[in-house]
């Protein structure tokens, strides 16, 4: 990635658009370059999709549950248990952790019944010893549009890119 890629990604994040016209207006990068760079970032796996922000509540997924999962230690258990957790309906993120908790699992669910189903699904995994789940009352910052939370200088520094002063 270089400065052009970073500027394109930042414009996409800030404005929630993949429209080359909008990105060109924001960055002064020619549309042909934007098309090429977006295609290249897709090929390279940097851009996985073109959905930037989803209102989970409006999409019917207003219940957020954060669960700590403790599992039986076995060789490669982080991969096998992590994959089983990720396959559960409603689970959107699974993190393998250091410390007393083996996994943090974040789920977005449509109803209380689905919360019960989630806990039952955790319990059905043989390697899971114990869980502790918290229900989110109110979301202060979602961070779904991750790049929008950073200054362009921080993004450039993450890739050892020097920005031209404009």
Provide the domain count of the chain.
Answer: 2
**pLDDT tens string 36-71:** 998 898 888 888 777 655 677 776 888 999 999 999
In whole angstroms, what is the distance from residue 77 CA to residue 68 CA?
16
- One domain, residues 47 and 76: no
Q: Residue 17: inside a domain, yes or no?
A: yes
- One domain, residues 75 and 124: yes
- Which residue range(s) make up the domain with 28? 3-52
In whole angstroms, what is the distance from residue 117 CA to residue 133 CA?
13
pTM for the whole thing? Answer: 0.70
Q: Say if residues 65 and 117 touch (Cβ distance below 8 Å).
A: no
**pLDDT tens string 116-128:** 999 999 999 999 9
- One domain, residues 84 and 127: yes
| CATH number of the domain within which 20 lies | 1.10.10.10
pLDDT band at 129 (very low <50, low <70, confident <90, very high): very high
- One domain, residues 12 and 35: yes
- One domain, residues 126 and 105: yes
- One domain, residues 125 and 83: yes
């Amino acid at each position: 990635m270089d400065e052009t890629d970073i500027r394109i990604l930042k414009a996409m994040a800030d404005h929630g658009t993949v429209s080359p016209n909008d990105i060109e207006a924001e960055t002064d990068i020619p549309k042909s370059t934007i098309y090429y760079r977006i295609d290249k970032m897709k090929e390279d796996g940097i851009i996985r999709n073109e959905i930037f922000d989803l209102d989970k509540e409006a999409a019917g997924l207003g219940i957020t549950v954060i669960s700590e999962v403790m599992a039986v230690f076995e060789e490669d258990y982080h991969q096998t248990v992590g994959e089983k957790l990720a396959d559960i309906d409603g689970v959107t993120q699974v993190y393998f952790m250091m410390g007393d908790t083996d996994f943090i699992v974040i789920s977005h669910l449509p109803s209380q019944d689905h919360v019960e189903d989630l806990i039952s699904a955790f319990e059905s995994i043989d390697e899971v010893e114990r869980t502790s789940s918290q229900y989110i009352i109110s979301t202060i910052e979602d961070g779904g549009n991750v790049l929008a939370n950073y200054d362009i200088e921080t993004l450039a520094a993450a890739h050892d890119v020097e920005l031209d002063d404009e």
